[in-house]
Amino acid sequence: MAAPPGLPVFFVLVLILLLPPPPLRAEEPAAEPADTRDAARVHSAPAPLTDVARLCVCDLLVAQCDVNCCCDPDCSAEDFSLFTTCSVPVVTGDSQLCNQKAAVYSLDVEANPPERIFKLIDQVNPSIFCIHSTNYKQALYLKSPEIPTPENFDQLLEKFGGASFRAEPDSWDLDTDAQNPPEANETSRYEYGVPVQTEDAFLRLPSPVVTSWCSDANPAGFLVNQATKCIRSVSVEKCDSIQALSMLFYINSSILAVPKSSQMVNITVQSIVVQSLNGMRTLLSSSDVLRLPMVLDDLCINAVLGVNYHITHTDTGEIIEAAAAFVLGAISKEALSIEQSFEISFTQENAEPVPLSGNPGYVVGLPVRAGFQPQGYPSPGSSNKHSQLTILQGTSTQDCLAAQGARAPVLFGYNMISGCKLRITAAMKCQPLAQTLLDVLKGQSFPEYVASFGNSQAQDVLDWVPITQLHISEQSPCQIPVSLGIEVKWTKYGSLVNPQARIVNVTATITTTTLKQLPSGRERIIPITSSVVFTDISAPAEPSYKAWPTINIKLPFDFFYPFV
Ligand SMILES: *[C@@H]1O[C@H](CO)[C@@H](O)[C@H](O)[C@H]1NC(C)=O
Ligand SMILES: *[C@@H]1O[C@H](CO)[C@@H](O)[C@H](O)[C@H]1NC(C)=O
Ligand SMILES: *[C@@H]1O[C@H](CO)[C@@H](O)[C@H](O)[C@H]1NC(C)=O
Ligand SMILES: *[C@@H]1O[C@H](CO)[C@@H](O)[C@H](O)[C@H]1NC(C)=O
């Protein structure tokens, strides 16, 4: 091959430089969080043009059901029950958008008959460059620790020299109005565990108290998520006069927005599912009808089999919404009793996403972020599901049963130990005590996942480390948990100059012990402890030498023309 005429003769000198490998994780662009509300407004994207729920690439036959085409509008529930799989499980829209809708189809083969499941989810596109706004300015920078010097010694001593100090940064609640806290007033807010008040008394969550029969005396405590099951005796002839079988009984009285207030919150009916005698469930399309139990052909229909309360509250402890979802069913004449199930859950309104704890690596002293598995992979899950890893907070009385609910955030890099004392009397029963202690140790909702980076986003599924739960117990009938040990293993990640802390493994170990029956009148005090240990498992960095750059010279083959 000859060089094109007119081009000067030149060396082609290829110098292979040994470039350092590209950074493994690009730092996220730091959008200026001028105002989180502004950020939210900017964030909203224009509505997509394609409706993915209507897009169906496997729908080939006109007005006929295509086999295994789960998005085919021509298929009926009967057709779906014969499908073996969904040939097109996910339909996504425009791949050039940061956020796109995806229609997910699957088959529930457990159901009888098998049903098609359709979900519309928001997907985050990992393959294009998107700018996300962040809400916690401090987390965008690495903080250098304060080293005591003669100048700042007095100031540090003042801050940390006492018997106790706050480890949290001053600007902890950046987004909340910390300067003007709402009037703390016994009756102007609900606190954890306080019964949710209604016009006449309190919201009841029927539960098996002594026996498995339902007792209506169990108050629902604020922020205490509960699920109960109990048995109610019924007689079909009198079914329309049994209060506990009527929807009205569960939504009749309004909830007080705050205790002793005159402001009411009505309990709305969110949904009604009707269960047939053979267990088939159908969702009623309209939920604003009250269906009262009545006798029909030796059956009692519209009897309440389950109630699911969902309470929405503000960060100042005020209830703003209450909804109930019902399962109604038929009772046959032979049945003398039915099982009812009840559930209550609390959600904070517009919960701000938990502030970041570093960017990307964790900053020592900021909370370890934790959360739950987003429902149905690859759904991003809602970011306000995510919270912090917490441990039991000791109280001045050190009484475990009083300590329920008080939690302290686990701060990255801080080994912590806390505990309380449990007074055991002869009258205490093993099973409820074991459950109470587990609640004391693990808190209301112990997370399933921990964010491996301080800035992990909910939608980055691989950025979340599952918490491994271990149990160390003896062999005996009555075991009560006495300690929870959390070990967080982390490594330094990235360049040597600016290594980033990354959590790689979290284990939570519950140790139980045998509760021996005490002779009556005697009591014993046992300590309950919880602890957090951070372990750096980075391999030490080793010095090494770069290989010398090599020079690779290639000459055009007519280089010596016209001399040769
Ligand atoms: C608490 O709030 C109620 C109602 O808002 C008010 O009447 C009462 O004076 C307040 N009590 C205190 C101690 O602030
Ligand atoms: C509903 O409440 C009203 C008044 O508060 C009461 O008269 C009625 O008996 C209640 N109904 C049921 C089914 O509890
Ligand atoms: C609550 O229910 C009552 C009676 O059904 C109704 O008069 C009232 O307007 C409702 N309040 C709200 C806030 O919806
Ligand atoms: C974390 O470490 C424990 C104990 O070494 C191990 O059993 C567990 O599988 C690890 N978890 C993960 C997610 O690697």
Which ligand lies nearest to the CA atom of residue 469 in the structure?
Answer: 4
Find out whether the beta carbon of 286 lies less than 6 Å from any atom of ligand 1.
no
pLDDT of residue 408: 84
Which of 203, 246, 248 to mutate for ligand 2's pocket (most ligand atoms within 8 Å of CB)?
Answer: 248
Do 328 and 294 fall into the same domain? yes
Find out whether the beta carbon of 263 lies less than 6 Å from any atom of ligand 1.
no
Q: Say if CB 130 and CB 31 are below 8 A apart.
A: no
pLDDT of residue 405: 66
For residue 155, tell me if it sits in a domain. no
Q: What gap in Å lies between CA 472 and CA 513, rounded to an integer? A: 9
Q: Say if CB 284 and CB 274 are below 8 A apart.
A: yes
Do 527 and 487 fall into the same domain? yes
Find out whether the beta carbon of 187 lies less than 6 Å from any atom of ligand 1.
yes
Residue identifier of the C-alpha nearest atom 9 of ligand 1: 185
Do 177 and 310 fall into the same domain? no
H or E element in which residue 439 lies? helix 430-442
pLDDT at 484 > cutoff 90: yes
For residue 37, tell me if it sits in a domain. no
Do 394 and 484 fall into the same domain? yes
Do 314 and 374 fall into the same domain? no
pLDDT at 210 > cutoff 50: yes
Provide the domain limits for residue 100: 47-137+172-185
H or E element in which residue 154 lies? helix 153-160
Give residue-wise pLDDT tens across range 355-371. Answer: 788 888 999 988 898 87
Do 293 and 244 fall into the same domain? yes
Residue identifier of the C-alpha nearest atom 8 of ligand 2: 252
Question: 120 falls in which pLDDT band (50, 70, 90)?
Answer: confident
Q: Which protein residues touch ligand 4 with a CB less than 6 Å away? A: 465-466, 468, 505, 507
pLDDT at 186 > cutoff 60: no
Which ligand lies nearest to the CA atom of residue 216 in the structure?
Answer: 2
More confident residue, 304 or 110: 304
pLDDT at 23 > cutoff 60: no
Listed range (41-45, 58-62, 137-141, 205-209) with the worst mean pLDDT? 41-45
Question: 433 falls in which pLDDT band (50, 70, 90)?
Answer: confident
Listed range (136-145, 396-405, 516-525) with the worst mean pLDDT? 136-145
What's the full length of the chain, in residues?
564
Could you identify the atom of ligand 1 that is nearest to the CA of residue 183?
Answer: 14
pLDDT of residue 385: 40
Could you identify the atom of ligand 1 that is nearest to the CA of residue 188?
Answer: 2
Q: What gap in Å lies between CA 512 and CA 478, rounded to an integer? A: 10
Which of 183, 186, 188 to mutate for ligand 1's pocket (most ligand atoms within 8 Å of CB)?
Answer: 188
Do 377 and 526 fall into the same domain? yes
Give residue-wise pLDDT tens across range 95-114. Answer: 777 777 888 898 888 888 88
Question: 183 falls in which pLDDT band (50, 70, 90)?
Answer: very low
Give residue-wise pLDDT tens across range 266-303. Answer: 999 888 888 888 877 788 877 667 889 998 888 898 99
Do 378 and 527 fall into the same domain? yes
Instruction: For 440, list phi and psi in degrees, rounded to 5.
Output: -65, -45
More confident residue, 161 or 316: 316
Which ligand lies nearest to the CA atom of residue 509 in the structure?
Answer: 4
Mean pLDDT of 38-61: 67
Do 525 and 389 fall into the same domain? yes
Distance 252 CA to ligand 2 centre (A): 6
Question: 14 falls in which pLDDT band (50, 70, 90)?
Answer: very low
Distance (Å) of CA 247 to CA 102, 288, 325, 377: 37, 12, 10, 35
Do 385 and 503 fall into the same domain? yes
